[in-house]
């Protein structure tokens, strides 16, 4: 029976593609394969990477040397050891994030995880623990899933690294942070997260997963809880981040 599976897939896939042709995650246009972007959307995406601030990942106009940090991080170091994102927050990045979070296009979590791979680095002998930013239980029940947890699951499968979706819990329901200034955001998430006692973090390296990084208040609150729990290193990895020029920081 197992030997027939490749044959069946070869017969069924063209039929499915004809009835439901693959579409671009950004604009919905027809593309050659699943989770592929059309050329206009791909061209409009701003991928982030080196050269950048070693701490927060904000792009540098040119190479600044190993370990160089931006002025904002030097003035007020964030709690994470590093933060990286696949894309600058723009039209396509926003569309994918919203379709995943509110459009219930949960298959997009796999696309996001695949794109994150180039930022995960080498595990060495001490593979980091992948931990998603949690949702409050009421929001989770209402939405039915945590998009960051879906991304974390796929990233764990792609890397072979352990995933712990219940390490962090959101113990305080917070108002949406949109429209708040950085100080208001920080105040809103203060005390919102806790570490479950059963999940020891002492000496662990952690890869914290979130979908979108705006002011960083939510991620910072999570990082502080993880480090108070004994985590030796916490790196933040997101699908998209708002850059300082966008006024979101």
Query: Which of helix, strand or coil describes residue 170?
Result: strand
Please give the order of strands across the beta sheet that includes 82-88: 82-88, 233-241, 205-213, 129-132
User: CA–CA separation, 171 vs 138, rounded Å?
Assistant: 11
Rounded-to-integer distance, Cα 226 and Cα 248, Å:
25
For 25, the token pair is 């995650």
- Token digits of residue 169: 């819990």
The pLDDT of residue 244 = 81
pLDDT one-digit tens code per residue, 99-132: 999 988 999 999 999 999 999 977 666 889 999 9
Q: Supply the pLDDT for residue 72.
A: 93
Q: Angle at Cα 176 formed by Cα 174 and Cα 179, nearest 5°?
A: 130
Q: Please tell me the predicted confidence (pLDDT) of residue 14.
A: 43
Q: Give 231's Cβ-side CA count (13 Å radius).
A: 25
Give the chain's domains with CATH numbers: 1-43 (no CATH), 75-246 (3.40.50.2020)
Question: Per-residue pLDDT tens for 71-81?
Answer: 999 999 999 99
Q: What is the pLDDT of residue 1?
A: 47
Nearest to 132 by CA among 147, 121, 122: 147
pTM of the full predicted structure?
A: 0.86
**pLDDT the model gives residue 198:** 60
Element (H, E) at 211: strand 205-213
What span, in angstroms and rounded, lies between the C-alpha atoms of 192 and 238? 20
* Dihedral-angle region of residue 2 (phi above 0 means left; psi in -120 to 50 means alpha; beta otherwise): alpha
DSSP 50-77: SSB-TTT-PBPSS---TT---HHHHHS-
Ranges in the chain, pLDDT < 50: 1-2, 7-19, 247-249
Output the pLDDT for position 80: 97
């Amino acid at each position: 029976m197992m030997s027939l599976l490749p044959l069946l897939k070869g017969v069924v896939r063209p039929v499915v593609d004809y009835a439901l042709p693959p579409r671009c995650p950004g604009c919905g246009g027809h593309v050659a394969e699943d989770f592929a972007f059309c050329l206009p959307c791909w061209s409009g995406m701003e991928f982030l990477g080196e050269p950048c601030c070693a701490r927060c990942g904000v792009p540098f106009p040119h190479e600044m040397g190993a370990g160089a940090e931006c002025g904002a991080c030097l003035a007020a170091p964030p709690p994470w050891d590093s933060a990286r994102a696949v894309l600058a927050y723009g039209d396509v990045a926003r569309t994918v994030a919203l379709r995943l979070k509110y459009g219930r296009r949960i298959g997009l979590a796999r696309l996001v995880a695949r794109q994150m791979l180039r930022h995960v680095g080498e595990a060495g002998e001490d593979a980091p623990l992948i931990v998603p930013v949690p949702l409050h239980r009421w929001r989770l029940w209402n939405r039915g899933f945590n998009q960051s947890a879906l991304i974390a699951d796929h990233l764990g499968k792609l890397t072979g690294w352990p995933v712990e979706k219940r390490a962090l819990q959101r113990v305080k329901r917070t108002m949406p942070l949109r429209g708040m200034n950085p100080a208001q955001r920080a105040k809103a998430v203060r005390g919102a997260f806790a570490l479950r006692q059963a999940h020891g973090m002492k000496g662990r390296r952690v890869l914290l997963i979130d979908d979108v990084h705006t002011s960083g208040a939510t991620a910072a609150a999570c990082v502080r809880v993880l480090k108070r729990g004994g985590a030796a290193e916490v790196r933040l990895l997101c699908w998209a981040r708002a850059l300082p020029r966008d006024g979101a920081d």
